[in-house]
Structure 1
Amino acid sequence: MPQYSPAELRRLKRESKQRAFDLAAELGVSEGALVAAEVGHGATRIDATLGRLIPAVETLGEVMALTRNRSCVIEKVGTYGEFHDGDHAAMTLTDEIDLRMFPRYFRHAFSVETENDHGISRSIQVFDATGSAIHKVHLRANSNLEAYEALKRDLALDDQSDEIAFEPAAEVEGAKSALDRVDTLREEWARMSDTHQFNTLVRRLKMNRLGAYRIAGAPHVRPLDVSAVQAMFDRMLADGLRTMLFVGNQGCIEIHSGPIHSLNPMGPWINVMDPRFNLHLRGDHVAEVWAVDKPTKRGPAISVEAFDAEGALIFQAFTQRAEKGGDPDAWAQMVADLPVLAEAAE
């Protein structure tokens, strides 16, 4: 990885018109390194412990919550609340800000202030040990600035160095299958009563999500053509389907629940640009799409799931529950209508 001093990174950042994620990739450094370089120049290192950080974020009022992976960005406007801490997993559960967070990945956090044409933008940005962005909170015009100043003061670390020894990023784990255990996979899949049992099942069988999908077969999974992603969003918009879209990374998953009201394609991007919900998806990154059917006590949980060429999960889409306004039957029919992978249809 190239070595740049914090001063060099600050200069390169100011000379560039790229977003930090893209500039970091071009320079061969982590996004976290770009932010760390700003410590003392608009950024402050703060405590990343969820039990301190999220309650402080709750005091900010209305903000924009952003979570991303390499291929998809989700942005939701709302207020943080209903925080449930935990050693292995934590949650924020409001109607608009719905997060699943995994504390061991919340390693480095910063309050960040940046001057732009509209004044000063303020954000809270969290990174994992490799400097990959886990979650960001962007203040809005009506956010509570006094609470932000209190957060910055109360959570500031003693160590305000502008250099951090980030760990090398690990390669994406590709699909892991175990053909000798496929019968067990299918039998136990059919007996599931909750979607959360799936992860436990595949781990016990020494597989992972994508590896299991590749060998499970009908009626559990159906391979779809990559065009199914655009077709799904088109139908969601046209039919007003109330869905749950899960987008995230290893440290944080952000969920949109409800319909979408716009689709704005731009080059390879599929964009939802609703007033309080934005989604930016690189359609050209989608390499595999699966329709997945998992049994639960409430009935089948049918999802559409997209993966990139390296096997990383990009997003998952489910229907909202009927009691939340969803239409499981309409969702199931929409998924059944999506284009199947040509090889599977032969």
Structure 2
Amino acid sequence: MSRRALTLLIAGFLVLALGVVGAFRPVPYVVLSPGPTENTIGEVDKKPVITIKGRQTYPTSGALSLVTVAYQGGPAAQIDLLTALRGWIDPTVAVVPQETIFAPDRDPKEVEQENTVEMTNSQDSATAAALNELKIPYSTVVTVVSTEKGKPAEGKLAKDDEIIAVDGRPAKNVDVVSEAVKAHKPGENVLFTVTRGGKKLDVTVPTVAGPKGQTLVGVLMQAKYKFPFDVEINVGDVGGPSAGMMFSLGIVDKLTPGELTGGKKIAGTGTIEPSGQVGAIGGIAQKMVGARKSGASIFLTPADNCAEATKAVPDGLRLVKADTLHDAVLALDALRTGKGNVPACEAG
């Protein structure tokens, strides 16, 4: 073998070796793919996804499925270049920079915990939205989450205090409490009426000026709902708020006579506010693929996701636009009966 041929052979081997080694080097990307779907009027691990106690429920049929996105990669388990390349050529998945999913200064475990909290809050909001849709009254309680160290509320208000009133005005929601405090000048006192351990207490808390001159006492609050019956939602390891609308629809279906789906397999996504407003979500393309794989023919789509969704909708999946929970209920009624308007997603 000539020296030239030997040189070319060695060079080719080195290039191949470097290519193989490079293919398995970790890269800061995350692969997003269609995740599992769960029927909100069905079961997970032989347990109903939605259980309602203390109120009459009705039979359901078909499916009202939430959809999810699975991810591979992240700071703790980076994918290799070869996996990323496979993802880039697969139209059903997305490869995105790692920082779009995991903020550089965030612990992945913290993100997962936040997703769990968001899912819990989403379930409460979904129940509230469903009851609002059905005009079933419930009450809202403002509770103390924590007090800020060194601020006036520390040592005066306590975690889990239920704020009944501020300066004698009913504390209907967190905004009412915040505005009542801001109505004072820094240095003035605020009278909180709270329930603590089953006892009603009046607590006087001084105010101070915040960094922008606003009046504050240093308390973190959140709204908790008191529903007239129990609604339990079981979804296993699913996290995040994007299943809110589908939870609401499942609750509405169980609480009303007749079958909301008409026996069809329907999937969808979207966050939900207690008012019934449906919000946009991420990973719409992967969620639509998962929905179609599960057998769904109808996909309820947040209005703000419609433009993106129409560019990647799988064959056989009909996109139905949902601005609000009420819109979604009316659309399902129209699909079932053949009467009424079914709003379609339009390309942006």
> When the two structures are superposed, what TM-score results if normalisation uses the length of structure 1?
0.22
> When the two structures are superposed, what TM-score results if normalisation uses the length of structure 2?
0.22
- Computing the radius of gyration from Cα coordinates, the structure with the larger value is 2
Structure number with the bigger relative contact order (C-alpha 8 A, sep ≥ 6) is 2
